[in-house]
Structure 1
Amino acid sequence: MGTDTCALGPYRADLVETYWRWEQDPALLVGYGRQAPESLEARTEGMTHQLRGENIRFTIYRLDSGEPVPAGVATLLPDHAVRTAEYIIMLAPEARGHGLGTQATRLTLDYAFHITNLRMVWLKVLAPNKAGIRAYEKAGFRAAGNLREAGYWLGQTCDEVIMDAIAGEFDGPSVVKSLLARK
């Protein structure tokens, strides 16, 4: 499922070392508010659990160089009882700043609302992460509130911004709907 420059594909066990490398990037550690890196062994062990879980995970691919190149991971953590999910995205350092996060987020929301039939998707983002907030807004998320001093950014406490996207407000082009219209 994708656009001309971005696609979502299966989460892949053979990419565990690539995912792990991205997760050790200092900017990603700061963005997630984590203080410690993870070993490749621990990540590999965690991958086995993730592949069997009920969460919806995609590998994000860049398509601008001809061949699909893995560039990140998009995850939905669904709560099926209420048809909602938390959204988490991770982009490779070299993939940031090109609009790929916005495109991947829109594709994930498209899937969430038109395939999984979720009614709402939400996320948390650290308040100082202005670029992330802008990308989420462009993709269809709106600010819903703050968790005061719930996170850390460069060693300082900061707010976490809660954002949500609702199926009824998801507008613009839908890859899912255009694929189904062709059949």
Structure 2
Amino acid sequence: MWITTDTCALGPYRADLVETYWRWEQDPALLVGYGRQSPESLEARTEGMAQQLQGGNLRFTVYDLTSGDPVPAGVTTLLPDDAVRTAEYIVMLAPEARGRGLGTEATRLTLDYAFHITNLRMVWLKVLAPNRAGIRAYEKAGFRTVGALRQAGYWLGKVCDEIVMDAVADDFTGPSVITPLVPG
């Protein structure tokens, strides 16, 4: 694991967890939250994993540390645009990991990494407007709403807006688990 708090850690994205990641991605609540309407086969997911492991995106396995032993509980992803030092953020949590603050903590750790290791200046995301729990978690982690893409998504078969949120390095007040590790 690369960076940790008492309850959450980020570690490497792992090929041996492809079936676990795939199982999470097939959860109906996740399909609705991502606005994707169709599930994916394990074979297609395995092919996609091979490409993801070779790409330039930053992917982390989220670990739940609340039981003492690290348990894989989700994935966070940064899709960087190196030309402008920004990245899109995506998070996926296992159904059993939701509703306990783990998504907020994993998002904070990913922002900490983005701003203090990769030196990004801004991270942004899109979230479907009816996903109130997701919006609250992103706000707690340091994101702010900056606009909406009107009628850009679907939620339970109905057209909805996509909310655009961002976090900038200057506003990220932590807590940082990285900066105390670097001698100043």
TM-score class normalised by the smaller sequence: over 0.9
CA–CA distance in 2 between the matches of 1:121 and 1:85? 5
Alignment of 1:102-113 (within 5 A): 102-113=104-115
- Taking the aligned partners of 1:180 and 1:27, their CA distance within structure 2 comes to 39
Residue number in structure 1 paired with 2:74: 72
Secondary structure at the residue paired with 2:99? coil
Question: What does residue 121 of structure 1 align with?
Answer: 123
Match of 1:87 among 89, 103, 107: 89
Amino acid aligned to 1:17: E
Separation of aligned partners in 1, 2:41 and 2:175: 40
CA RMSD of aligned residues (A): 0.8
Task: Decide whether the 8 Å contact of 2:112 with 2:174 is kept in 1.
Answer: no
Distance in 1 between the 2:61 and 2:20 partners?
Answer: 11
Letter in 1 for 2:147: G
Give the Cα–Cα distance (whole angstroms) in 1 for the partners of residues 120 and 19 of structure 2. Answer: 31
Q: Distance in 1 between matches of 2:174 and 2:55?
A: 31
Among 131, 134, 142, the alignment partner of 2:144 is: 142
TM-score, structure 2 normalization: 0.98
Cα distance, 1:172 vs. partner? 2.8
Residue aligned with 1:51, SS = helix
Q: Give yes or no for the alignment of 1:171 onto 2:173.
A: yes
Superposition deviation, residue 146 in structure 1: 0.1
User: Mapping of 1:2-13 within 5 angstroms?
Assistant: 2-13=4-15
Post-superposition Cα deviations, 1:126-161, rounded to whole Å, max 9, x if no partner, equal 000000000000000000000000000000000000
**Aligned equivalents of 2:136 and 2:48: distance in 1?**
31
d(CA) in 2 for partners of 1:62 and 1:87?
20
Alignment of 1:47-58 (within 5 A): 47-58=49-60
Report deviation, 1:70: 0.1
Matching residue of 1:100: 102
Displacement of 1:179:
1.7
Q: Secondary structure at the match of 2:162?
A: strand
Aligned to 1:22: 24
What displacement does 1:94 show? 0.1
Which whole-Å CA distance do the structure 2 matches of 1:125 and 1:93 have between them? 18
- CA deviation profile, 1:10-57 (whole Å, cap 9, x unmatched): 000000000000000000000000110000000000000000000000
Q: Structure 1: state its 5+ residue gaps.
A: none
* Alignment coverage as a number of residue pairs: 182
> Stretches of 4+ moved more than 2 A in 1?
none
Q: What do the CA deviations read for 1:61-116 (whole angstroms, capped 9, x no partner)?
A: 00011110000000000000000000000000000000000000000000000000
Give the aligned residue type for 2:73: A
- Secondary structure at the residue paired with 2:63? strand
Counterpart Cα distance in 2 of 1:159 and 1:167: 26
